[in-house]
Structure 1
Amino acid sequence: MQKKDQNYIKKENKGLVLDLIKRLGPVSRAKIAKVTKMSPTTVSRIVSSLIELNFVEETEQFTSGVGRKATLLAVKSDSILSIGIELDEKVSRACIIDFLGNMICSSETSLNKEDAPEKIVIHLKKQVEELVNGHNVQWQKVIGMGVGLPGLIDYANGQVKISAQLGWGDVPLAHMLEKEFQVKVFIDNELKLKAYAEKRLGNGKQSGRLVMIGFGSGVGSSLIVNGEIDRGHSNFAGEIGHTIVDPNGKLCPCGNFGCLQTYIAESFLLEEASKRKEIKDIQELIEIAERNEEWAISVIERAVTYATLAINNIVCINNPDTVLLTGSLIDRYPYITNKILKSCETKIWEPLRNSFALRVSTLEQQGVMLGAGMIAQKDFVQKLNFEEGVLN
């Protein structure tokens, strides 16, 4: 038992060092020892094994300042690759990323949400194969795949519990994809993956407690604490769209009345607007509001008010240092985004008003794909047996 425990700790230390080099590199051995509180000898031994396994390399950069100059370390970006996929109700996006999160190639194709899951799996296989063949990707370097989609996801078992947007229920998506691709597959809620990508690559890099809030076809949120996704007991944490704000309100597809998303989501805004005038999309509603037609202004202002309330409530519950806004209403319509940001200046609870940074997501349509690919890499780093260079 003692030997097993020592081997486990040794393996965990190597995963920790590799992750630090990935996040902080180029970085010195001395800095790694300081951050991890490991001895310089232990760090040197771990680094040597990572170099031998071709995950890490010494750069041509050196530490500056007094004392002996030391060579800095960096991960080899092309040592492993992963696939990231986003499934939406109308499109599928796929990409291949390297070990540093750089997107090597990507594609977007139309999707028919009426198709059965089995047909969509075949669709994804074709899409990924075209990427691999079209960009001469070395398949032997692909260590896994991540998939982000809207809905309630059983992350541990790779199952889509409910996705209203896709019309799915209890779909073993990870298993279905693993049969086709012969690599480890992870599936997760799209907003959780996008928040993870923003923490690693985007507007949340400096955050220790990051909340992402999505306003679009639905309403949701995700919390990242110290770089890790806060999933809750069943991976359903953050489903604010189904918090009830008016028990006598509009019927939500979930079966309850007065859910928050029935006051903000795109389809409900269009439904509300259609009571006054037949319009084709949110942009047309905005153009009417910009012409100072009161009814259109009222529809948008009500959505802005409820969006602000959602932000306020999440800040009160989670006390984050950073809040990132995302989703189609944010990414596509600056008119609405600016109104929400302006409203937050006065309607957030005063004691917390200046306690966090309120920003807009920078990764936009790439965020879910990047997060999906990075989750697959995270698992690889955690499970790799560095003593033997093979997966456990």
Structure 2
Amino acid sequence: MVTGDGAYIKKINRSLILKTIIEHGMISRAELAKITGLNKATISIQVAALLEEDLIYETQQEHNAVGRRPIMLSIKRDVGYVLGIDLDYKEIQYTLSDLLGYPVHHEKIFLDSEDYEEIVLLLVEHIQKYHKNCSHSRYGLISTVIGIHGTVNKEEEDIFFIPRYKWHSKSLKSDLKEKVNFDLNIHIENNANLSSYAEKVYHYHKSDNLLNIILSSGIGAGIMVDGHIHKGYHGYAGEMGHMIISPEGALCKCGNHGCWELYAAEPRLYEQLAQRLDKPVITQNEFYNLVNEKHPIVYEEMEIFIKYLSIGLNNIINLYNPETIVLNSEVLQAYPNVIEKIKGNLVSSVSQYGEIVLSKLGKDACIMGACAIAIQNFFEVPELIFSDSEKHIPFTNHKIEILNN
């Protein structure tokens, strides 16, 4: 039983009510009481407060039954916005989301520079632009969460290392807060952690033990244990690309030999194909065309790629016994029957897992996870579920016009 003073209990009840309204999209007071177990008086008091804060609104449902039409409660999704940012190598993606996790604006910019100070100023410029364009809403721009393709300290949220930029020990959060000309909640998080969170929030709601493996620039993993992101002691858990699978293998930039990402990350596959096909590079579109043509060299290299991918997955499965493994890879999306082929390589009688699936979010996973975490923090709910249910109010006409100056 939860005990505490009245203010604490009220906060718990508020969180439970908001969580339930978000999950169901539209719900009556009676259903709220039934699902949460709270009495009608508590529901009435809490709902009145949320209406006054402009966080929810009421609608009256049409129905053919005799009697009074039920009054439904929904989140007022356009009273505030959150900004998700994916800071990748040579590009930055920005997604502005309403309070139900629906994107209302998205843009991608390409970078000419790898200089930390220049990129900080660019981030500041865009954050301030989004803040200005959200000023019409009651709560404005509530928060921004930035996904980093590297290691992030969990206490101060400082960047420990971003391999492709070669940035060491950068206080991005502090630098942004110092330069942004208004008060804003800013959080920094590893991209794989955000991606795993997005997979749970948007698709795999009931999977409390979920692993999200990203095979793009290297191999990173987001780990959900008992419904929470597992970060490890410093915050650096999930760097599974540097698990050694071949002790006498190739030298990795990390200093070890035979790291997993040297054999089962997408760049390695493209390098191998370019070498065997005697081309300087292989583009993504060229790869897709070659797969569609069933080019024998591509199929040979893909079988090798899947073999090494499966070796790493076998190790991870034995370590974590996951319920759901989500593989985020455009290469795997393009290859036929790939999940069956991977499962065929996982033959150990010891290794146990629930399911292996391909990500439905793809490259948007990081940025959608960033938006979702910002929304969860704003509402202060213990768990966030964005359902695809038709009960959600359809997204209609509140897109944000973003100014360029």
How well do the aligned residues superpose, as a CA RMSD in angstroms? 3.2
Note the alpha carbon deviations across 1:226-280, whole angstroms, 9 max, x for none: 6532323332232211111111111111111111111112333344445543431
Question: What secondary structure does 1:304 align onto?
Answer: helix
Instruction: Identify the range of structure 1 (260-269 vs 68-77) with the bigger mean alpha-carbon deviation.
Output: 68-77
Letter in 1 for 2:185: K
Pick closer, same or farther for the CA change 1:113–1:256 going to 2, 3 Å. farther
Asked whether the equivalents of residues 80 and 141 of structure 2 are also in contact (C-alpha less than 8 Å), the reply is yes
Contact 1:144 1:183 in 2 (8 A): yes
Aligned CA distance change for structure 1 residues 66 and 196 (closer, same or farther; 3 Å)? farther
Larger displacement relative to structure 2 (180-189 or 135-144): 135-144
Counterpart residue number, 2:402: none
The aligned counterpart of 1:154 is: 153
Counterpart residue identity of residue 154, structure 1:
N
**Secondary structure of the corresponding residue to residue 325 of structure 1:** strand
Q: Counterpart of 2:380?
A: 382
**Which protein has greater RCO, CA pairs closer than 8 Å, 6+ apart?**
2
Alignment correspondent of 2:166: 167
Q: Cα offset for 1:78?
A: 1.0
SS at match of 2:74: strand
1:315 CA drift (Å): 3.2
2:121 match: 122
Q: CA 1:363/1:294 → structure 2, altered by over 3 Å: closer, same or farther?
A: closer
Share of identical aligned residues, percent? 29
Match of 2:100, SS?
Answer: coil
Q: Distance in 2 between matches of 1:168 and 1:28?
A: 51
Distance in structure 2 (CA, Å) of the matches to 1:350 and 1:39 = 51
Q: Structure 1 residues 85-94 or 106-115, which shifts more? A: 106-115
Q: Deviations 1:14-55 (Å, cap 9, x if unpaired)?
A: 123212211222123343334433333222222221111111
Q: Residue 151 of structure 1: CA displacement? A: 0.9
Residues 80 and 140, structure 2, Cα contact 8 Å, conserved in 1: yes
Instruction: State the alpha-carbon separation in 2 of the partners of residues 374 and 292 from structure 1.
Output: 39
Conserved? CA contact 2:91–2:111, under 8 Å: yes
Q: What corresponds to 1:239 in structure 2?
A: 239
Distance 1:34 1:350, change over 3 A: farther
Deviation (angstroms), 1:192: 1.4
Q: Which of 253-262 and 16-25 deviates more? A: 16-25
The one-letter code matched in structure 1 to 2:319 is I
Q: Do the aligned partners of 2:242 and 2:259 also contact (CA within 8 Å) in 1?
A: yes
Give 1:130 shift: 4.7
Distance 2:210 2:168 in 1: 30
Partner of 1:198: 199
The aligned residue for residue 17 of structure 1 is 17
Write the letter of the residue equivalent to 1:303. F
Select which of 340, 343, 358 maps to 1:342: 340
What is the DSSP-based 3-state SS (H/G/I as helix, E as strand, rest coil) of the residue aligned with 2:61?
Answer: strand
Q: Which residue of structure 1 aligns with residue 392 of structure 2?
A: none
Preserved contact between residue 153 and residue 162 of structure 1 (Cα < 8 Å): yes
SS in structure 2 of the partner of residue 374 of structure 1: helix
The corresponding residue for 1:71 is 71
Mean alpha-carbon deviation: is it higher for 340-349 or for 248-257?
A: 340-349
Q: Is the 8 A contact 1:213 1:221 kept in 2?
A: yes
What CA deviation, in whole Å up to 9, does each residue of 1:336-364 have, x standing for no partner?
xx353131232224668996333222222
Of 156-165 and 84-93, more deviation after overlay is shown by 156-165
Offset of residue 294 of structure 1: 6.0
Deviations 1:151-186 (A, max 9, x none): 111133121111102221111111112223330101
Question: Is contact 1:279–1:285 with CA below 8 Å preserved after alignment?
Answer: no
Q: Which residue of 2 aligns with 1:145?
A: 144
C-alpha change, 1:62 and 1:227, in structure 2 (3 Å) is farther
Question: Does the 8 A contact of 1:218 with 1:266 survive in 2?
Answer: yes
Write the distance in 1 (CA, Å) between the matches of 2:163 and 2:66.
Answer: 60
- In the alignment, structure 2 segments of 5+ residues that lack a partner are 382-405
TM-score between the two structures when normalised by the length of structure 1: 0.83
Distance 1:264 1:54, change over 3 A: same
Aligned residue number for residue 305 of structure 1: 307
Q: Which residue of 1 is the match for residue 50 of structure 2?
A: 50
Match of 1:390 in 2: none
Q: How many residues align?
A: 375
**Could you tell which deviates more after superposition, 224-233 or 15-24?**
224-233
SS in structure 2 at match of 1:218 = coil
Q: Which moved more, 1:291-300 or 1:233-242?
A: 291-300
Conserved in 2, the CA contact under 8 Å of 1:270 and 1:279? no
Distance (Å, rounded) in 1 between the aligned partners of 2:380 and 2:191: 22
TM-score scaled by length of structure 2: 0.81
- Give, in angstroms, the shift of residue 137 of structure 1: 6.0
